[in-house]
Amino acid sequence: MTAQPSQLWPVHSKPLVGEALSSWLLRIADGNGLDQRSFKRYLPKAHGTSADLDLIDDEAFFTAIATWSAIPPEHVAALGFARDEGLVFIQKATDHPDWIIPRDRLGTWPEKRHVASQPFCPACFASDVTPYYRKVWRYAFHPICPEHGFLADRCPRCGAPFSYLALGSASWSRYGAHALRHCTACGTPFAKPQHGTFDALEQGAIAIQSALMNGLAAGWMQHGGKSIPIALFLRGLHIVAEALLNPEHGRTMCAWVAAHHPELAYSDFSFLGEGTLERQTSVARAWVLVLAYWLVQDWPKHWIALLQETGIRSPTCLPHQKFLPAWMHSDEIAQLCIRENRRSPEEIASAKKLLAKLRNYPPNNAELTTFMNTGVVPPFKPRTRPISPEVRQAFSRQLQVNPGTAESAQKCEDSLRQCVRELYPTALVDDPLSELLEDMDDTETSLPILKRQQRSLRGKS
Ligand SMILES: [Zn+2]
Ligand SMILES: [Zn+2]
């Protein structure tokens, strides 16, 4: 496309390598002498209400920016996360897609949306000729700057949250291009890089991080001899990472996996915060990344061993087992479901049938469960089997339906005998009612029939 000179922003510098859309737009605003709020008036209204510039997914918005900056629209769109759908995350159903570190954090009235601290590399800022924010720093699987080590979560000096963009009604002066040079809270300039050696955790995490980044570039991951679309691989990895952050079992699971990595100098994981992966610190994300990545190797070998050795039940940490991506489905995982009482309806029906055949009458639920788990058939005791309290209650309620006259009492008894005949055809219907009760089968099928009978008696009276 060719832009008319009049359509261009007076200053329209090009995006830098790997720059985030919001960082580039902020630099353009700065170059044109505008702060973020004033510049916003010159931006087209984006479809949807995302307050986060990098999450905007609107072709008209990209086209307008492209016209004003003389950059191809595709290039503009690729600076944000819109083009990551189908690569990094499956579907952007909410403002917080998987793996993308959110810019807002929920607060309380009167300012509901606060700015969350963004991970950043102070050393990169310090060595940049023009400091700019890298898009990859907001990927939760990218906790490390390959050159300078762990990304900082807050100002290294005073611990103030870092962000260069404001949200909502935040105080604007704290944000802007100057926030990329020094901490806006304590004023300390971001420091020049100090080259040190990477520790084992950094080395482990960085290897995985670059494998995933290569996967993103290719669109595929080579995993266990298979090519897996990167989005599906990342989806599975995210599911396992979430399991490691499970409030109940997460720490046990992390400790178990860490025990297989003595080189990482296991800590007690008390630094793992509450909430989703995307809200954890860079160090916590590096841990979760290393542990989760190891768990998906040779899938599901390590996962099964973890569950067997820790005694944690699979459904509690893989709640969406049915929705696992295809590469994670396996016979072992399916068997795990069966062991944990997730039996198929067919299996239950056939066990019921078999047990009924062995005993001449259908089993109740407790007997069926014992039979399926242990293969033990409950003893067959005709005429002495105790009736369940529920059935007894239903019967006595029925006898009380209309106790007014002798005639209705007779009617009631007749209908009860009819009911018993239905439920238990071999019963001797001339026996006294109380003895009939003893012959009754007390499975769950009796109750609905009794209730129906009771309703119809009520209707007649
Ligand atoms: Zn860096
Ligand atoms: Zn500071």
Q: Taking the chain (461 residues) in consecutive chunks of 10 residues, what is each chunk's mean pLDDT?
A: 67 94 93 85 76 88 93 95 90 76 68 77 95 97 95 93 77 80 92 81 96 95 89 93 89 91 82 83 95 94 91 75 81 69 71 77 75 67 53 65 59 68 57 54 58 62 48
Q: Which amino acid is at 150?
A: F
> CB atoms < 10 A from the CB of 257, how many?
23
* Closest of 116, 248, 124, 236 to residue 170, by C-alpha: 116
DSSP state of 100: B
Question: What is residue 96's predicted lDDT score, i.e. its pLDDT?
Answer: 76
Dist. CA 12–CA 379, nearest whole Å: 86
For residue 123, the ligand closest to its alpha carbon is 1
Compute the distance from residue 158 Cα to the ligand 1 centre, in Å. 19
For residue 18, the ligand closest to its alpha carbon is 1
Is residue 310 within 8 A of residue 322, CB to CB? The reply is no
Compute the distance from residue 12 Cα to the ligand 1 centre, in Å. 26
Compute the distance from residue 162 Cα to the ligand 2 centre, in Å. 9
Compute the distance from residue 359 Cα to the ligand 2 centre, in Å. 77
Compute the distance from residue 181 Cα to the ligand 1 centre, in Å. 14
For residue 186, the ligand closest to its alpha carbon is 2
Compute the distance from residue 172 Cα to the ligand 2 centre, in Å. 17
Q: What share of the chain is helix, strand, coil (3-state, %, to 5)?
A: 50, 5, 45
For residue 187, the ligand closest to its alpha carbon is 2
Compute the distance from residue 29 Cα to the ligand 1 centre, in Å. 24
Q: What is residue 160's three-state secondary structure? A: coil
For residue 162, the ligand closest to its alpha carbon is 2
Dist. CA 234–CA 85, nearest whole Å: 12
Compute the distance from residue 160 Cα to the ligand 2 centre, in Å. 5
Which residues share a beta bridge with 407? none
Compute the distance from residue 147 Cα to the ligand 1 centre, in Å. 5
Question: What is residue 236's predicted lDDT score, i.e. its pLDDT?
Answer: 92
Compute the distance from residue 138 Cα to the ligand 2 centre, in Å. 20
Question: What is residue 1's predicted lDDT score, i.e. its pLDDT?
Answer: 45
Burial class of residue 230 (count of CB atoms within 10 Å of its CB; 0-12, 13-18, 19+): buried
Which residue's entry shows tokens 């069966």?
338
Dist. CA 206–CA 198, nearest whole Å: 10
* Closest of 242, 240, 288 to residue 261, by C-alpha: 288
For residue 158, the ligand closest to its alpha carbon is 2
Q: Is the peptide bond before 110 cis (omega within 30 degrees of 0)?
A: yes
Dist. CA 79–CA 92, nearest whole Å: 16
The two three-digit tokens of residue 437, written as one number? 């009760």
Question: What is residue 383's predicted lDDT score, i.e. its pLDDT?
Answer: 43
Compute the distance from residue 289 Cα to the ligand 1 centre, in Å. 19
Compute the distance from residue 145 Cα to the ligand 1 centre, in Å. 5
Which residue's entry shows tokens 């806006």?
184
Is residue 272 within 8 A of residue 251, CB to CB? The reply is yes
Question: What is residue 72's predicted lDDT score, i.e. its pLDDT?
Answer: 95
Dist. CA 358–CA 347, nearest whole Å: 17
The two three-digit tokens of residue 149, written as one number? 């080590």
Q: Per-residue DSSP letters for 292-338?
A: HHHHHTTTTHHHHHHHHHH---HHHH-TTGGG--GGG--HHHHHHHH
Compute the distance from residue 155 Cα to the ligand 2 centre, in Å. 5
Compute the distance from residue 201 Cα to the ligand 2 centre, in Å. 26
Compute the distance from residue 136 Cα to the ligand 1 centre, in Å. 12
Compute the distance from residue 152 Cα to the ligand 1 centre, in Å. 10
Compute the distance from residue 183 Cα to the ligand 2 centre, in Å. 5
For residue 160, the ligand closest to its alpha carbon is 2
